[in-house]
Amino acid sequence: MAADFDGLDALWREAFPKDPPRNRADVSVPAKLAMQDDLLFVAIEQGRVIGSIMAGYDGHRGWLYSVAVRQDARRLGVGKALVQTAEAALRARGCCKINLQVRSSNAAVIAFYKGLGFSVEDHISMGRLL
């Protein structure tokens, strides 16, 4: 995984250019690897990182985070394969429901998840920085 970090960092900077520094790979990935290192998946093609997904499970619900695919690798099934891989890993842990958050303005990503069987739920997402 360490060998793939530079590619993962570049992918996230491309996919999430407006994310705050606390969501950058150099912060999120080490924290993830310290908690559930088996729920971070990276897609590599010809030695290059082309996609990633992080998943989490707290015993109650699963979550998908930081799903990213390089622009030149989109619409080739990489994102779908990453989601299916994360779903299988969560299912193997006993997870029966997966949540994720999407910006309401990102119609393409909403359509992607709907195509995978996800539905928009009537919830309000709330957060607080610590």
Q: Give the DSSP H or E segment for 31.
A: helix 25-36
**Given the structure tokens 């610590």, which residue do they identify?**
130
Q: What is the pLDDT of residue 22?
A: 84
Q: Are strands 98-100 and 48-57 parallel, antiparallel or unpaired?
A: unpaired
* Helices marked H in 77-120: 78-92, 107-115
108 pLDDT higher than 60:
yes
- For residue range 84-105, list pLDDT tens digits in order: 999 999 999 999 999 999 988 9
Q: Are strands 98-100 and 62-69 parallel, antiparallel or unpaired?
A: parallel
Q: Which residues pair with 48 in a beta bridge?
A: 45
Q: In whole angstroms, what is the distance from residue 37 CA to residue 97 CA?
A: 20
- For residue range 19-76, list pLDDT tens digits in order: 888 888 888 877 887 887 789 999 999 999 999 999 999 999 999 999 999 999 999 9
1 pLDDT higher than 60:
no
Q: Are strands 40-45 and 98-100 parallel, antiparallel or unpaired?
A: unpaired
Q: Which sequence spans correspond to the domains of the chain?
A: 2-115
Residue 86: which region, alpha, beta or left (left: phi > 0; alpha: psi -120 to 50)? alpha
Q: What is the pLDDT of residue 88?
A: 97
Q: In whole angstroms, what is the distance from residue 78 CA to residue 94 CA?
A: 25
Domain 2-115 falls under CATH 3.40.630.30: yes
Q: What angle do CA 81, 125, 95 make, to 5 degrees?
A: 45
